[in-house]
Structure formats: structure tokens, C-alpha cells
């Protein structure tokens, strides 16, 4: 458990450090610091507040004969218990709260708007698996989902598998996952109560509702049952780096201390995942680095059998597999940059000369995934930035695409667990279309809407306009942009404009609907998603051109998109906000250093901003796995290149936009001290009088608040930050 300071302990810690010994940071007016730490006045204005200033404690960092001085290195505390560090974060939170106190009514209004659009007593579309219909549902006023099922028909009696609200009691954070055994009589469930993504697994007898005593700790939430209904495969994490590196098996009724280690990945650049074939024949162990894959197979009917290698890892070879009858289907980039589909007989997979090509490589189409059924196959393909679903009839070889009409959208296959079926379940959404779930008859091509996300209070898509436009990057490359705004919006350059981007790991940022975003659109905002290089929207090369020694293409693309949107009259530098989270926080941090003049405000959530120091430290979670993404700075070429864009290392004495930075104390992906150090350095060097706010969720991790309503409060703060700046113009 992490230490939490009470309000009195916090004040004592602050005054003891600041007033008596003046060591690590000062807060507010030094002659009367309580003015800034206690709610003594509700009328205090933002401009009268002085932000916390972190003390400079020089730390020498040497690499390649170069010395960097990191004055805020002391903010790192892996235990997250150091009083002076916690006091600083809490003082920053106090500063945000007081500085934005005049927006509390606005935040409350936005919160009520967003929450008011959500159907609180909602449920997912049930899906059939073996003898039961499974679903999740929410109850009015409750934060967390309830996992339930009904036997045979949806008219049957509900059986509650897990009530997240009851399990979350007493915890500030909660995340739960369930996995029912093949015989549907036992269930494993994984829970995280810190946001650190280190789950604890317990077991429930679904016939008696008894929760068993045996417990597994520090594991990934993805669990796989063998076909014997008593063996569970799970993945353990390294307690320091949090790298998933070991596969274990647990047998119900035995002491977890006697669990068997099935596989251990020694290469620190690889992460370990597990899954199960739809055929239920194989438990699959996936070993994955940024550019390489290796799959091991265990016969699910023989859980004690030794794993066998599907195909040994090869340099820059990524593949995934599906099983059907006596064949394996392989989505592979072997001699195919945008991937192709191969087939091989079971037992011959280690000999690539036996692989038979099913779908060839195409220069303009990225093959992302496949769904295998007894008589059909569905291909998830990305062309010109948009995901398309292609259906193939395996008996008569006929094929067709499912039609989508929006200029920009997101489509995906989901919950297709049954093998012998002609029904495909898929999801669809666009920037004007609420999330929709369809059942699609792959034979008749009939599409049945099972559910569309309800927007309480009414929503008319015809009141909004969605566009897909293209900006020209610095090197002449065309960059797609997805846009949404209210009908009647004038392109006169006066609109508040949001530019959102990510651009890393080959993650494609598809256009999707957001009930929260309506609060901006109704107030005249134009919202854009820029599909910059570093993602994979336009194919594999799109990713290759935005990583390693080409990473700055990502930032240049974002800048080009911003300039294009402003030139087209969607906004201007006084009304434009850049938003990014995690690696997207790196994006907006780098862009802010390069072109601060283009933005009124920057919103950086859990931002990865201390690139060089983090990538030099292999004890930090994710570092070793990401050398293929960013480069290893122990190599001088990569070190020098990173130093040209790392947001923290490139902060300088100049004017910056208004900035809101958010993080979670228990973040396992981007450690809290990265944004903390970044903010401290910005406070020291920036020459403007613009706002700089730093908000730490002391109870959450990388994903922010865990409850569905608590998360809205964070969104309301972000929206109020932007709206407040616009109202002051």
C-alpha cells in the first residue's frame, strides 16, 4: 500500500520543509504560505496566486561524454511515499484547485451535461457462448459494471458473476476482469485496486457462489482456462519493471505456491501474452517485441504438456495465427510490409517453404486481422486510412465488403466466439454516429442493428458535420484529418479548435463518436483527429516513417495539420488547443517547443516527456521493450537524435502557450515524475504569464479515474480549462 498524507500531515510536511529548512520547494507567498494551502478565501483570483516552485537540486547525468544537469531528478520516488515529493504534488493540486476555483460552476455544468447524456441503467448486447448469454450492465448511479449471464435464453433468470460496485468498496480505484471456464462452472477474476496494472486473481465456484481461498498476485488480467476446467494459465510480471515475462499454470484446489512455471522470457525486449484459439484446441503464448513475434502452443486438452514453438523468432518478423481444422492461418509480414495471409498444415508450420499464400501482399492495403468461422473468413483491412471488413465465403469463394457511408469512421469485429455460425458481430461508429453494434448475416448480407449507444436527452446527427481533409506535410506527404463540428459553423478563423493526435507504436487513431465531445461542439468548437505518421493509418510505411530516426516527422505532421486547419478558417493561433496523452503527450510537448506560437493551449495527459533519461534507465517499466520504437540512447546516434526533440530536455527561456498537465501517481506506463519534472522546469524557464496547471490523481494510474462518473470530472476540468481561456478573449 502507498502512504497517503492527511491534510494536517501535508501542511506540517510542507511548512517543515519550506519554512524551516527551505529544501525542496516553495509554495506561494513565503511570508504567509497558508494563504495558498488552506481554503481561507473563496474569492481569491487566479492572478493573485503564486504557483509552487520546485527547489533545484542539481543531478549530473553523463552519457557519451556529455553531461546533463537535471535539477528536478529528486522528484522521482519509486516507492511513492516520500513526504516532500507528495507534498509538492499536493501543493500543485491545491494551486490548480484555487486557480480554477472560478470555473467550478462551469465544471459542474459540464459534468452534469456529460453525465446527463449517459444512460445510467445500461447494458451491453449479450453474446452467446456455449450454454449462456453473457453481458455487462450498469445500474443507475453506480460507477462500475456488473457482469451477468442467463442460461439458454435472455428471458431466463439472471446470474450475477461479479458486481464491480461491491468489489470496489473501500478502494479509490478499481478495475476488474472475469474469465469463465470452458465448463462454465468456475470463474477466475482479476482485480487492480491501485491503477498500477498489477492484478490479483481469485476464483469463484459458480455453482455455489463460493470464492475460493487460493489467490494469484502481480499478474496480467488476461487469463486462459485449459479444457479440463481446472487448469488456469496466467502471466506474471517482473515486480520492478512490470514486464510480463512468465507463464504459469495453476490447478484449482492446490496451493498457488506450488504453481508450475510453463515459460519464462529472458529477453528483456519481449513481453509475454496468452490467448486461446477459437477452435479451443490451443493455448497460445505470444512473445512480442516491437518488431518481432514468436508463438508457442500448448494442447488445451493436455495442459501439462510442454509448449511447442510455432515458428522461431526471426529479425523483424511479426505474425499472428488462427487455427481451423487441420490448418493454421498466419497473418505475417514475411516478405510483405503490409502483411499477407498464409496457410499451413498443422505440424508443418516450422517450415516456411510449406506455407501457402491465401491473400497476397498489397502496396495500398494493410491486412490487420482475420476472424475465422467454419464456412467464412472476415478480413480486417485498412485502405486509405479507413478500416474495411471483407467477408469471404470459404465454400463458393465469393467475397464482398460491408458498406460504410461516413467520410471517416471506426469499424471493428467483436465478440465472435462461436465457430460454426454465419453471423458476424461488428461495431461501428463515426464522429457523428454513436457507437453501434450489428449482427451481420454473412450469407444473405443482411445487417441487423442490435444496439446503438443512447444519448439521453436526444441527439440529432444531422446537426453536425463530419469531414475528411488532407494537409500537406513539410516533405510533401498528404496527412489525413478527420473533422467534426456543428452545422452552420462559419470557417472564419474565429472558432475554438482542438487538434488531437497520437502518432506512435503504429496505433491508428480512427474517427469515433464521443458524448463528452458534444459539450465542446455545442459551444462552437471544431474537433479534429490528425492521422500523423507514427500511426499506421496509411499502411506499415506510415509507421516506419514516424519512429526511430524519423520520429520528428510525427511532430512536423502535427504542425502542418494545425497550420492547414487554421489557414482553412477552422481556427487561429489564439483559439487552437493541442491535445495528446501518453506518447501523444510527448507529441504535444515536442510541438510546443517547436511552434508555441500556433496554440492558445496545450493539454498533455500522462505525457511521456523525459525521453532520454527514461530510455537510458532499464529499470523503468516499458523501457527495454521500446528500443525498437524510439531507439536505444546508449547508442550515440539515437541519443543525439532524441536530444533534439525530448520535451523535457528542450524546455528553454521563451514564451509558451497556456498548459494543463495531468497524471496519475500510480501510473505504470509513464511514471508520474516525468510530467512533474517537466512542469517544474517550465515554471523555472518560461518567460510568459500564461497559465500552467499540473493535476495529479493521487489514486489512479495511466488511465485516470476508474469509475465511469469519476472520469467525467477529469474531462470537465479539461474542458473548463479551454472554455475559460476562450471566455477571457
Cα atoms in the Cβ-side hemisphere of radius 13 Å centred on 174: 22
If you search the block for the grid coordinates 471488413, which residue do you land on? 389
Residues tagged active-site: 582, 667, 702
Vertex 466, ends 462 and 472: CA angle to 5°? 165
Task: Using DSSP, state whether 131 is helix, strand or coil.
Answer: coil
Q: Check residue 701 and report its DSSP letter.
A: B
Please state, in angstroms and as integers, the Cα–Cα distance from residue 480 to each residue in 214, 405, 407, following that order.
51, 17, 11
Question: How far, CA to CA in Å, does 247 sit from each of 296, 420, 487?
Answer: 11, 30, 53
C-alpha torsion angle, residues 115, 121, 124, 128 (rounded to 10): 170
Helix, strand and coil content of the chain, in percent to the nearest 5, comes to 25, 35, 45
95 three-state secondary structure: helix
**CB-CB contact of 479 with 532 (8 Å):** yes
12/8 Cα distance (integer angstroms): 6
Dihedral sign for Cα atoms in the order 274, 632, 542, 506: positive
- Distance of alpha carbon 348 from alpha carbon 326, whole angstroms: 11
Residue with cell 465457430: 419
Cα dihedral 709, 712, 714, 716 in deg (nearest 10): -140
Cα separation, 311 vs 516, in Å, equals: 45
Burial of 501 (0-12, 13-18, 19+ CB in 10 A): buried
Q: 237 is written with which cell numbers? A: 510480471
Q: End-to-end CA distance of the chain, in Å?
A: 46
- Cα distances from 329 to residues 311, 358, 509, in angstroms, run 13, 9, 27
Residue 633 near residue 665, CB atoms below 8 Å = no
Q: What is the DSSP letter of 264?
A: E
Side-chain half-sphere of 144: how many Cα atoms within 13 Å? 21
CA distances from 508 to 15, 221, 339, 539, 548 (A): 48, 24, 16, 10, 18
Q: Residue for cell digits 524510439?
A: 630
| Cα–Cα distances in angstroms (integers) from residue 258 to residues 228, 249, 417, 427, 622, in the given order | 19, 10, 32, 42, 29
Amino acid at each position: 500500500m502507498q502512504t497517503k498524507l492527511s491534510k494536517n500531515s501535508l501542511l506540517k510536511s510542507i511548512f517543515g520543509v519550506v519554512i524551516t529548512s527551505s529544501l525542496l520547494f516553495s509554495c506561494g507567498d513565503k511570508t504567509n504560505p497558508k494563504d495558498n494551502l488552506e481554503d481561507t478565501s473563496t474569492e481569491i483570483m487566479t492572478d493573485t496566486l503564486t504557483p509552487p516552485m520546485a527547489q533545484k537540486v542539481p543531478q549530473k547525468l553523463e552519457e557519451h561524454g556529455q553531461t546533463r544537469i537535471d535539477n528536478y531528478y529528486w522528484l522521482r520516488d519509486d516507492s511513492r511515499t516520500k513526504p516532500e515529493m507528495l507534498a509538492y504534488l499536493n501543493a500543485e493540486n491545491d494551486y490548480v484547485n484555487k486557480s480554477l476555483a472560478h470555473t467550478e460552476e462551469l465544471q459542474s455544468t459540464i459534468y452534469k451535461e456529460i453525465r446527463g447524456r449517459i444512460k445510467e441503467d445500461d447494458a451491453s448486447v449479450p453474446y452467446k457462448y456455449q450454454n449462456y448469454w453473457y453481458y455487462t450492465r450498469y445500474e443507475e448511479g453506480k460507477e462500475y459494471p456488473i457482469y451477468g449471464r442467463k442460461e439458454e435464453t435472455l428471458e431466463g433468470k439472471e446470474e450475477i458473476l461479479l458486481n464491480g460496485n461491491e468489489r470496489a468498496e473501500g478502494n479509490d480505484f478499481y478495475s476488474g476482469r472475469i474469465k469463465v471456464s470452458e465448463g462454465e462452472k468456475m470463474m477466475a477474476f482479476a482485480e487492480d485496486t491501485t491503477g498500477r496494472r498489477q492484478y490479483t486473481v481469485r476464483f469463484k465456484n459458480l455453482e455455489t457462489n463460493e470464492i475460493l481461498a487460493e489467490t494469484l498476485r502481480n499478474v496480467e488480467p488476461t487469463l486462459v482456462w485449459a479444457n479440463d476446467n481446472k487448469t488456469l494459465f496466467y502471466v506474471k510480471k517482473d515486480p520492478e519493471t512490470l514486464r510480463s515475462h512468465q507463464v504459469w499454470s495453476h490447478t484449482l484446489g492446490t496451493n498457488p505456491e506450488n504453481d508450475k512455471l510453463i515459460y519464462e522470457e529472458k529477453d528483456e525486449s519481449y513481453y509475454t501474452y496468452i490467448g486461446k484459439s477459437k477452435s479451443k484446441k490451443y493455448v497460445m503464448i505470444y512473445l512480442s517485441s516491437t518488431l518481432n513475434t514468436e508463438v508457442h502452443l500448448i494442447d488445451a486438452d493436455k495442459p501439462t504438456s510442454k509448449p511447442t514453438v510455432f515458428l522461431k523468432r526471426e529479425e523483424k518478423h511479426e505474425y499472428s495465427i488462427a487455427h481451423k481444422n487441420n490448418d493454421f492461418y498466419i497473418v505475417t509480414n514475411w516478405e510483405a510490409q503490409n502483411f499477407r495471409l498464409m496457410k499451413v498444415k498443422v505440424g508443418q508450420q516450422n517450415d516456411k517453404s510449406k506455407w501457402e499464400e491465401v491473400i497476397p501482399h498489397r502496396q495500398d492495403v494493410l491486412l490487420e486481422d482475420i476472424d475465422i468461422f467454419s464456412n467464412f473468413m472476415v478480413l480486417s483491412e485498412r485502405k486509405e486510412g479507413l478500416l474495411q471488413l471483407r467477408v469471404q465465403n470459404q465454400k463458393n469463394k465469393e467475397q464482398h465488403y460491408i458498406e460504410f457511408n461516413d467520410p471517416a469512421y471506426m469499424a471493428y469485429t467483436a465478440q465472435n466466439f462461436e465457430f460454426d455460425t454465419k453471423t458476424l458481430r461488428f461495431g461501428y461508429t463515426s464522429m457523428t454516429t454513436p457507437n453501434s453494434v450489428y449482427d451481420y448475416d454473412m450469407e444473405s448480407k443482411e445487417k441487423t442493428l442490435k444496439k446503438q449507444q443512447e444519448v439521453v436527452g436526444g441527439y440529432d446527427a444531422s446537426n453536425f458535420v463530419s469531414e475528411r481533409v488532407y494537409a500537406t506535410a513539410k516533405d510533401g506527404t498528404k496527412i489525413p484529418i478527420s473533422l467534426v463540428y456543428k452545422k452552420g459553423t462559419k470557417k472564419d478563423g474565429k472558432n475554438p479548435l482542438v487538434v488531437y493526435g497520437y502518432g506512435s507504436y503504429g496505433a491508428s487513431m480512427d474517427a469515433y463518436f464521443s458524448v463528452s465531445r458534444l459539450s465542446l461542439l455545442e459551444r462552437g468548437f471544431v474537433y479534429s483527429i490528425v492521422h500523423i505518421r507514427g500511426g499506421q493509418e496509411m499502411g506499415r510505411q506510415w509507421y516506419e516513417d514516424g519512429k526511430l530516426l524519423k520520429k520528428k516527422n510525427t511532430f512536423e505532421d502535427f504542425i502542418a495539420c494545425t497550420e492547414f486547419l487554421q489557414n482553412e478558417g477552422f481556427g487561429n493561433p489564439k483559439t487552437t488547443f493541442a491535445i495528446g496523452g501518453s506518447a501523444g503527450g510527448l507529441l504535444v510537448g515536442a510541438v510546443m517547443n517547436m511552434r508555441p506560437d500556433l496554440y492558445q493551449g496545450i493539454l498533455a495527459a500522462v505525457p511521456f516527456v523525459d525521453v532520454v533519461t527514461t530510455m537510458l534507465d532499464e529499470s523503468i517499466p516499458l523501457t527495454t521493450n521500446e528500443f525498437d520504437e524510439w531507439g536505444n540512447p546508449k547508442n550515440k546516434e539515437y541519443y543525439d537524435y532524441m536530444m533534439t526533440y525530448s520535451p523535457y530536455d528542450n524546455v528553454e527561456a521563451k514564451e509558451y502557450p497556456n498548459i494543463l498537465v495531468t497524471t496519475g501517481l500510480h501510473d505504470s506506463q509513464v511514471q508520474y515524475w516525468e510530467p512533474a519534472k517537466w512542469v517544474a522546469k517550465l515554471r523555472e524557464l518560461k518567460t510568459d504569464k500564461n497559465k500552467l496547471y499540473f493535476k495529479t490523481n493521487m489514486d489512479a494510474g495511466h488511465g485516470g479515474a476508474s469509475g465511469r462518473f469519476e472520469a467525467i470530472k477529469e474531462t470537465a476540468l479539461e474542458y473548463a480549462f479551454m472554455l475559460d481561456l476562450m471566455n477571457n478573449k
